[in-house]
């Protein structure tokens, strides 16, 4: 490996839930939903959208190479992946639960998030301290989401809480959700907004998966970041850290230009307390990115290297060889210093997630 001299931390990997095992942590009512054979693989989370049910087995046309003979995305497979890819630790997000925002019944959201977090603690966090999960939060019931974040961090040792980028009835900057952000700030852990569903993003009539994929992660992340800045989340919670996952980093350059332009055109009453670009500096915001993103060095020159971290996305679109290749792409760049490469490959994620 060409990156043996670097310490690598993955800021965005994915568990693959085995719902029959997860059922052991559910209430009787939800367990019936999870284990009813007539429901096939419907499980306990809603369908993410009309595209992902037919997700391809890979992006290159080649046979996928996973890290072990265990189920891809299991705790044991993740340990093997870290060993073979030369990665120290990973921050783990859900797969099935990316659609958690689509749940319309608050008490159901509470129960399924609690079951998920207990399951992930047993089947991943306890397998190895190199596997560091992020909690699912039932944002449909904000007081319960506060309690669940506190439980997940204090009792289960999770590194933060995840919010779905789509599905919830209000934009993520809305004051209704602020108690969750206040609790994250108090606990000293980040909130991570993770891309997933393409529903409601203007692409509901798309019939081409790749065309949808080009857009459907980045657009809701842009909306979430703008809502945090312009609806006062970062002003009201000055120590809150927020991550934006699965959309890469190129969209940030466009957004900066628009925010800078609008400083000069609109009423000061609609402006945040600081210049918008200042919220992006100093380590409060983190974007997961891939080594192939040509805009990385340029965007980092505008807001600082602290805002970016390597994300594997294993075992979704990326298999073991692809993950190693993307790390190598960062190392081989000629537009970044060694210090900046180390920051992206490991240091920023360590700091941001308190690893």
pLDDT tens digits for 54-93?
A: 544 444 456 788 888 999 999 999 999 999 999 999 999 9
Tell me, rounded to whole angstroms, the distance of Cα 348 from its chain centroid: 15
Distance between CA 88 and CA 135 in Å, rounded? 21
pLDDT of residue 61: 53
- Decide if 160 contacts 135 (C-beta within 8 A): yes
pTM of the model: 0.93
Q: Taking the CA of residue 317 as centre, how many other CA atoms within 13 Å lie in the half-sphere pointing to its CB?
A: 14
Residue 258: how many other CB atoms lie within 10 Å: 11
Q: In this predicted model, what pLDDT tens digit does every residue of 140-163 receive, in sequence order?
A: 999 999 999 999 999 999 999 999
Distance between CA 199 and CA 133 in Å, rounded? 26
Distance between CA 252 and CA 295 in Å, rounded? 10
How does residue 172 score in pLDDT terms, banded at 50, 70 and 90? very high
Distance between CA 45 and CA 331 in Å, rounded? 38
What mean pLDDT is reported for the chain? Answer: 91
pLDDT above 60: residue 39: no
How does residue 53 score in pLDDT terms, banded at 50, 70 and 90? low
Backbone angles phi, psi at 218, to 5 degrees: -70, -40
Backbone angles phi, psi at 178, to 5 degrees: -60, -30
pLDDT above 70: residue 165: yes
pLDDT of residue 185: 98
Taking alpha carbons only, the member of 144, 156, 152 closest to residue 180 is 144
DSSP, collapsed to helix, strand or coil, labels residue 77 as: helix
- Decide if 188 contacts 149 (C-beta within 8 A): no
Q: Which DSSP symbol is given to 326?
A: H
Taking alpha carbons only, the member of 30, 133, 26 closest to residue 75 is 133
Q: Which DSSP symbol is given to 93?
A: E
Taking alpha carbons only, the member of 226, 101, 239, 244 closest to residue 182 is 239
How does residue 41 score in pLDDT terms, banded at 50, 70 and 90? low
286, β-bridge pairs:
243
Contacts with 342 (C-beta within 8 Å, 6 or more apart), sequence order: 6, 7
Give CA separation, 93 vs 10, 64, 251, 316, in Å: 11, 21, 22, 11
DSSP, collapsed to helix, strand or coil, labels residue 196 as: coil
Q: Which DSSP symbol is given to 43?
A: -
- Decide if 346 contacts 6 (C-beta within 8 A): yes
Residue 22 structure tokens? 């997860």
Q: In this predicted model, what pLDDT tens digit does every residue of 269-328 receive, in sequence order?
A: 888 999 999 999 989 999 999 878 999 999 999 999 999 999 999 998 899 999 999 999
Percent of the chain at pLDDT > 90 equals 74
- Decide if 248 contacts 293 (C-beta within 8 A): yes
Among 38-52, 135-149, 150-164, 219-233, the minimum mean pLDDT is found in 38-52
Tell me, rounded to whole angstroms, the distance of Cα 221 from its chain centroid: 10
Distance between CA 250 and CA 32 in Å, rounded? 44
Q: Which DSSP symbol is given to 46?
A: P
């Amino acid at each position: 490996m060409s990156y043996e001299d670097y310490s690598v931390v993955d800021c965005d990997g994915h568990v693959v839930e085995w719902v029959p095992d997860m059922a052991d942590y559910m209430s009787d009512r939800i367990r019936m939903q999870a284990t009813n054979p007539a429901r096939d693989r419907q499980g306990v989370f809603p369908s993410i959208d009309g595209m992902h049910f037919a997700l391809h087995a890979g992006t290159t046309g080649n046979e996928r190479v996973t890290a072990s003979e265990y189920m891809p995305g299991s705790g044991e497979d993740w340990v093997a992946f870290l060993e073979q890819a030369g990665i120290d630790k990973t921050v783990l997000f859900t797969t099935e639960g990316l659609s958690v925002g689509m749940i319309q019944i608050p008490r159901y959201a509470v129960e399924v998030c609690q079951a998920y977090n207990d399951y992930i603690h047993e089947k991943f966090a306890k397998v190895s301290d190199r596997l560091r999960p992020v909690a699912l939060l039932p944002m449909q019931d904000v007081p319960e989401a506060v309690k669940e974040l506190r439980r997940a961090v204090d009792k289960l040792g999770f590194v933060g809480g995840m919010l779905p980028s789509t599905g919830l009835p209000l934009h993520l900057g809305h004051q209704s959700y602020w108690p969750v952000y206040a609790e994250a700030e108090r606990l000293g852990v980040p909130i991570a907004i993770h891309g997933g569903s393409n529903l409601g993003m203007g692409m509901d009539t798309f019939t081409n998966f790749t065309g949808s994929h080009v857009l459907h992660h980045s657009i809701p992340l842009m909306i979430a970041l703008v809502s945090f800045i312009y609806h006062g989340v970062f002003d009201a919670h000055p120590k809150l850290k927020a991550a934006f996952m699965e959309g890469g980093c190129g969209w940030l350059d466009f957004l900066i230009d628009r925010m800078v332009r609008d400083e000069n055109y609109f009423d000061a009453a609609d402006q945040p307390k600081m210049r918008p670009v200042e919220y992006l500096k100093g380590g409060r915001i983190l974007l997961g990115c891939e080594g192939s993103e040509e805009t990385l060095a340029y965007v980092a020159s505008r807001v600082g290297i602290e805002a970016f971290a390597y994300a594997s996305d294993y075992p979704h679109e990326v298999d073991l060889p692809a993950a190693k290749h993307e790390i190598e792409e960062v190392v081989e760049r000629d537009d970044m210093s060694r210090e900046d490469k180390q920051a992206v490959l490991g240091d920023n994620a360590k700091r941001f997630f308190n690893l």
